[in-house]
Structure 1
Amino acid sequence: MSERKPYINKTLHFLSLVKWKSLFSIFGAIVLFCLLIILFINWRFTRSYSLSKHTSFVEDVPSSQVAIIPGAAVYGKTPSPVLSDRLECGLNLYKAGKVKKLLLSGDNGKADYNELKPMLDYMLKNGVRPEDIFVDHAGFRTLDTLIRAKEVFQVKEAIFVSQTFFLARAIYLGNHLEITLHAFECNLRTYKKESYYTWRELFARQLAWWDILWDTPPKYLGDPFPIEGSGVKTWKGSIL
């Protein structure tokens, strides 16, 4: 059998000197610390939501100027169940007179993917007046949607329409941005990926917390376009 090469002997000697128990203890402490941070941030979001005004009943939600309806997946021209339910809930709020305007915010960043066209089509087919629909074509994520709602559309108070497992993050971000948000819980069914969404939110809240800490800007901002009068001009360049 040939002799070991010098670098192999040196490697084995180094490994024999490593205090593995101490190393594993340090690693375990780091993992525990990270876990505690995750749990603490999650608790902050959950507590913020528990203290907010939230309901799943149209008659119980406070009236507001606008309902913000964030986008979700679409399949071609068909809204996913998550998005379809948000649109239905937003429409119910509008027809009940709880809001005067609807702000549709979604992803229209690719030529072959458009969340906003199906959202707009749904509202128009169900009798919403065109001038009452405002479109935010750069709502790539909740942070962008809310910053643009405040800075571009000049929203100070709104009803945020989404499923419960997404709402805590929206309310927490709204509080930080000083937007008064009333959460409307749009849980019209059991969703196929509900467990996945719940787990994803656990980590999405960590990202949202860092976004707040580092004052992350939206991908796009733009000139102010207050939510008053007609919103038809906001359709151009995004879905027409």
Structure 2
Amino acid sequence: MLDRRVVVRTLLGGAGMVALLALVVGVANVVVLLGGRGAKTDPRAVPHAQAALVLGALVAPDGRPSGMLEDRIRAAAALYREGRVDKVLASGDHGRPDYDEVNAMRHELVRLGVPDGDVFTDHAGFATLDSVVRARKVFNVHSVVVVTQPFHMPRALWLARRAGLTAYGLEAGSGSSYGSKGTVARVREVFARTKAVGDIVTGAQPKFLGPRIDIAGSAAASRG
């Protein structure tokens, strides 16, 4: 028969661990939410920057952008048309031949009127951290307008600023819920913010860096 004192200590220890975890998650979220403020919903209200950074999201097996990604692309194209950015940097997952977020973004941006020569493609933007660090270190971007959904924006802006970018934000699809996928993404974001703080504390780096492709140069050098 279990000793009652052992059971009590075990329960108290478990409760303490849960409380500590909740504290860590809560503090990390406050840090990111406070440090990632300042996004706009109107492209005309965004300060001018070198580039719009469009963060990747799911594409369908036939290569069509998901609703979430389509909203980001349209917002970035609006930024370009308003003259708020000189270039667009499409950064996403193209880690295998049969899955390509990056060229899906590029083709749609061109269809929406952004000249192909002004669309740079980052094929190793596997995570938000990778995208913002690579924007600074690989593409030599100094000022950027991050384009993503409101629930993702604080983390993206916070990481971009920690990467040394002068970063503004344009919220895409502010009125969209995206159904169950949106619900899952919002819940996931609570823990993703915690991981983001951990990544900065531990000095995490992108999976790949590689040779420099200056945003002031030719977009052709970024094709893959």
Q: Same fold (TM over 0.5)?
A: yes
In the alignment, does 2:34 pair up with 1:47?
yes
Q: Do the aligned partners of 1:105 and 1:116 also contact (CA within 8 Å) in 2?
A: yes
Aligned-residue offset at 1:18: 5.4
Larger Rg belongs to: 1
Separation of aligned partners in 2, 1:197 and 1:190: 10
Give the counterpart letter for 1:98 in structure 2: R
Of stretches 162-171 and 118-127 in structure 1, the one that deviates more from structure 2 is 118-127
Which residue in 2 is equivalent to 1:206? 194
Give the counterpart letter for 1:67 in structure 2: A
Which residue in 2 is equivalent to 1:177? 163
Give the counterpart letter for 2:188 in structure 1: R
Aligned-residue offset at 1:177: 1.4
Aligned-residue offset at 1:46: 1.0
Which residue in 2 is equivalent to 1:150? 136
Which residue in 1 is equivalent to 2:55? 70
Structure 1 unmatched ranges of 5 or more: 1-11
Separation of aligned partners in 1, 2:21 and 2:114: 47
In the alignment, does 2:8 pair up with 1:21?
yes
Aligned-residue offset at 1:48: 1.2
Secondary structure of the 1:146 match is: helix
Aligned-residue offset at 1:17: 7.1
Give the counterpart letter for 1:221 in structure 2: L
Which residue in 1 is equivalent to 2:173? 187
Q: Do the aligned partners of 1:131 and 1:229 also contact (CA within 8 Å) in 2?
A: no
Q: Do the aligned partners of 1:102 and 1:132 also contact (CA within 8 Å) in 2?
A: yes
TM-score, length of structure 1 as denominator length: 0.88
In the alignment, does 2:203 pair up with 1:215?
yes
Aligned-residue offset at 1:16: 3.4
Give the counterpart letter for 1:99 in structure 2: V
Aligned residues: 221
Aligned-residue offset at 1:165: 0.4
Off by >3 Å, runs of 4+ in structure 1: 15-18
Residues 144-188 of structure 1 show CA distances to partners (whole Å, capped at 9, x for unaligned) of: 001100100011110000000001111111221121110111125
Secondary structure of the 1:164 match is: coil
Separation of aligned partners in 2, 1:118 and 1:227: 20
TM-score, length of structure 2 as denominator length: 0.94
Separation of aligned partners in 1, 2:4 and 2:41: 62
Secondary structure of the 1:54 match is: coil
Alignment CA distance shift 1:162-1:24 (3 Å): same
Aligned-residue offset at 1:97: 0.7
- Structure 1 counterpart of 2:17, from 30, 49, 67: 30
Give the counterpart letter for 1:82 in structure 2: M
Structure 2 unmatched ranges of 5 or more: none
Secondary structure of the 1:198 match is: helix
Secondary structure of the 1:174 match is: helix
Separation of aligned partners in 2, 1:108 and 1:97: 28
Separation of aligned partners in 1, 2:113 and 2:77: 9
Which residue in 2 is equivalent to 1:8? none
Separation of aligned partners in 1, 2:220 and 2:97: 21
Which residue in 1 is equivalent to 2:41? 56
